[in-house]
Amino acid sequence: MAPFNLARWFIEGEVDYDWWLGQLQSWGPVVAGALFGAGWWCWADALVYQKAVVGSPYPFSYNWPGIVATLALVMINLLPRRDLAEAGDSLEEGGEFRARLWLFVSFLIAAGAVAGSVAVLIAAQQQKELAGLGVGSVLQCGLILLSSILLWAFRSGESSSGYGYITH
């Protein structure tokens, strides 16, 4: 397959969606892993800065939003996309409901992690020496949750499940 040609796309108005989907399925998990690593790096950097430069201790409860966001990433990605697509076809009663409920609860936990990181940011801004931890917490949760959505949407090896494009 020829690489994407922007000039041809503007002139002809055609996009090879299969090529783009293949690229996203190939590189999506890599980018998701990089975002996950960057999220934890932001938090580790904030902790090192707090200890080395500022020198004041921080409450352990500031760690919880990142831990919960990582738990949400695992929960979201435990459910394969094919379970949502095939649950309606199975003979098991309520299979589709359970799959959707699991995904809904996973996203609720992810939203709780974001809310917790915003609470850490607000609490850290009240103590000026902890401000870096608040920003690090919000960046950490945002990047981890972005990586979980990207990984769930574009996992490799599931193109045969019939749940290909996100818009379907």
What is the secondary structure of 80-133 as a DSSP string? -HHHHHHTTTSSSTTHHHHHHHHHHHHHHHHHHHHHHHHHHHHHHHHSGGGHHH
The H or E element that residue 135 is part of is helix 131-153
Percent of the chain having pLDDT more than 70? 79
pLDDT at 73 > cutoff 90: yes
Q: Compute the average pLDDT of residues 53-82.
A: 90
pLDDT at 89 > cutoff 70: no
Give me the half-sphere count of Cα atoms (radius 13 Å) on the Cβ side of residue 15.
5
Reference 68, options 105, 41, 95, 31; nearest CA is 105
The H or E element that residue 163 is part of is none
> 87 with 162: CB under 8 angstroms?
no
Q: What is the pTM of this model?
A: 0.78
Percent of the chain having pLDDT more than 90? 47
Query: In this predicted model, what pLDDT tens digit does every residue of 111-167 receive, in sequence order?
Result: 999 999 999 999 999 988 898 999 999 999 999 999 999 998 887 555 444 334 444
Confidence of residue 69 (pLDDT cuts 50, 70, 90): very high
> Which residues have a Cβ under 8 Å from the Cβ of 87 and sit 6 or more positions away?
95, 96, 97, 98, 99, 100
